[in-house]
């Protein structure tokens, strides 16, 4: 079992380091030193220059034990950034066994719980001389900014055969075996301005056109695998002028690419038909920012996760996630990856918390993932 005191102390240290997304320089320096002090090779890519974030992605290599070089290489990944408000985190362990902040900030267990689990697991492997195959730890920046760090990774840097992200909601035992692709959508409507009191009939209200377009779009829960949402509606000015410009930001998600394509087409057709009916013009741009993934219960990466979870006394449960993670991106870059829950709750809020016992179990889970992979030789 992981060293409880050491694991909790490490977690508390990590969450006290400010690392709001886009400002990862401090936490990156801390992590580079910790991995290096454990004797591991650490490299950093150029994601800082490419994304504008405070650091690049970290790639940490743990070579195989002697005689275990033929074991498949394992990927373990977590992200170093947090959401806001994440400056000046003051963690505390309460009597109910949960670690929380003081309530003025998030805690940052998303995803410093994963980072603490990986670092403690490395210590355990070294202390107990546990035989292992090669392991690549990848710590990303900008996960909370739309997976920008992992999306910037050169696939040539990935040396693993399959992997696990330690970054899912749910209790330890939960395995996200599927997650949707996401498309970002930008729409623009151009109408015609006119005086709203003198000659409104000469104008074309972009607000009215946009309203008609949105009303025609299938939105919300489309089916069990597909969703869509309008996130921003901008336009307008003085009430005495017919508005001639509106911009909409939206998204669509689906686990099935064909369904995502159909949803985007439906949104485009709703926009263009509403504009045509009113004599306005419209622009539609949809970009898939990360791919979906799906695994079956009997796929190797899922079977390995279930075995590792059973080894620590957790009850494995597979589920389909509605959100994206770095696991989506790693799958798209050719490394089959599922996302595992590490026990945090109420993330992205000032009520965020995690059980101290779950931090220890998360570290034990990482060790068991490495052990189970070792059996594939």
Query: Which residues does the annotation mark as catalytic?
Result: 81, 143
In whole angstroms, what is the distance from residue 186 CA to residue 195 CA? 28
Is the previous residue joined to 350 through a cis bond, with omega within 30 degrees of 0? Answer: no
263: enclosing H helix or E strand: helix 257-278
Distance CA 113, CA 110 (A): 6
How far is residue 236 from each of residues 127, 185, 240, 247, 355, measured CA to CA in Å?
Answer: 64, 20, 11, 10, 48
Kindly state the tokens that stand for 111: 């995803």
The SS3 assignment for 81 reads coil
Residue 164: count other Cβ atoms within 10 Å of its Cβ: 29
DSSP three-state, residue 94: coil
Q: Give the three-class secondary structure for 326.
A: helix
Query: 202: how many CB neighbours lie within 10 A of its CB?
Result: 11
- What is the C-alpha to C-alpha distance for residues 240 and 198, in angstroms, rounded to an integer? 9
* Residues 333, 313: Cα–Cα separation, whole Å: 32
| Pairwise CA distance, residues 328 & 277, whole Å | 39
**Structure token pair of residue 91:** 């963690």
What are the residues facing 354 on neighbouring strands?
99
């Amino acid at each position: 079992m992981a060293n409880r005191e050491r694991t909790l102390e490490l977690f508390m240290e990590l969450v006290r380091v400010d690392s709001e997304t886009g400002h990862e320089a401090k936490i990156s320096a801390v992590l580079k030193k910790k991995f290096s002090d454990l004797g591991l090779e650490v490299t950093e890519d150029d994601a800082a220059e490419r994304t504008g974030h405070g650091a690049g992605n970290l790639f940490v290599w743990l070579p195989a034990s002697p005689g275990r070089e033929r074991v498949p290489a394992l990927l373990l990944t977590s992200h170093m950034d947090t959401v806001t408000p994440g400056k000046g985190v003051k963690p505390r362990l309460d009597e109910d066994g949960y670690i929380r902040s003081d309530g003025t900030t998030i805690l940052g267990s998303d995803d410093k719980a994963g980072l603490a689990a990986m670092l403690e697991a490395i210590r355990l492997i070294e202390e107990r001389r546990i035989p292992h195959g090669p392991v690549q730890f990848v710590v990303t920046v900008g996960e909370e900014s739309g997976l920008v760090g992992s999306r910037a990774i050169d696939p040539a840097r990935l040396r693993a055969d399959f992997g696990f992200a330690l970054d899912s909601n749910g209790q330890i035992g939960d395995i996200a075996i599927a997650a949707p692709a996401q498309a970002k959508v930008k729409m623009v409507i151009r109408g015609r301005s006119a005086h709203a009191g003198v000659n409104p009939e000469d104008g074309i209200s972009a607000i009215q056109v946009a309203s008609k377009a949105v009303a025609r779009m299938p939105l919300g829960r489309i089916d069990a695998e597909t969703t869509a949402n309008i996130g921003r509606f901008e336009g307008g000015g003085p009430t005495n002028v017919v508005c001639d410009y509106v911009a909409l930001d939206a998204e669509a998600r689906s686990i099935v690419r064909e369904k995502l394509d159909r949803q985007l087409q439906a949104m485009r057709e709703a926009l263009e038909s509403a504009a045509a009916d009113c004599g306005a013009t419209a622009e539609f741009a949809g970009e898939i920012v990360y791919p979906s993934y799906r695994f079956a219960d009997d796929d190797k990466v899922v079977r390995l996760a279930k075995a590792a979870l059973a080894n620590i006394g957790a009850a494995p449960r597979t589920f389909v996630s509605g959100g994206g993670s770095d696991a989506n991106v790693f799958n798209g870059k050719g490394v089959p990856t599922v996302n595992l829950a590490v026990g945090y709750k109420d993330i992205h809020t000032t009520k965020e918390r995690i059980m101290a016992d779950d931090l220890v179990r998360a570290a034990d889970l990482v060790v068991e993932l490495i052990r189970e992979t070792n059996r594939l030789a």
